[in-house]
Amino acid sequence: MVYALAVLVYIGAWAAVLLTSLSDRTVLAVAIVAIVSVGAGAVARSWSIVGISLVILPLAVAQPCELECDTSVLTHAMLLWTPASAALLAAGVALGLRRQA
């Protein structure tokens, strides 16, 4: 139950950042997803949550655009956001397991 809640909060935060105007406020958006990623990993305390970081890719593709989409969004998602988020999730899992021990 706690794991599922951590996953939902993680996906919700990334969806809010990628699919709303929150993405226009870069510093706030980065802070939100960084804190949520570490927190979700710490709460989940399971290495399997790291794979959930792949959800960023379909969210980046689903990003709303008017006439022509900016392909750099998907490129950034593949090369920067997904690996960084996976690393933050892993750091959170390590912190959660360390606190548990």
Please check the confidence at residue 1 and state whether its pLDDT lies above 70: yes
How many Cβ atoms from other residues are within 10 Å of residue 21's Cβ?
Answer: 8
pLDDT band at 60 (very low <50, low <70, confident <90, very high): confident
Per-residue confidence (pLDDT) for residue 73, from 0 to 100: 78
Among 46-55, 63-72, 90-99, name the one with the lowest average pLDDT: 63-72
Contact yes or no for 49/30 (Cβ under 8 A):
no
The amino acid occupying position 28 is L
Is the pTM of the predicted complex or chain greater than 0.75?
yes
State the alpha helices, DSSP H only, in the chain: 2-19, 26-44, 56-61, 72-76, 82-100
Please check the confidence at residue 21 and state whether its pLDDT lies above 60: yes
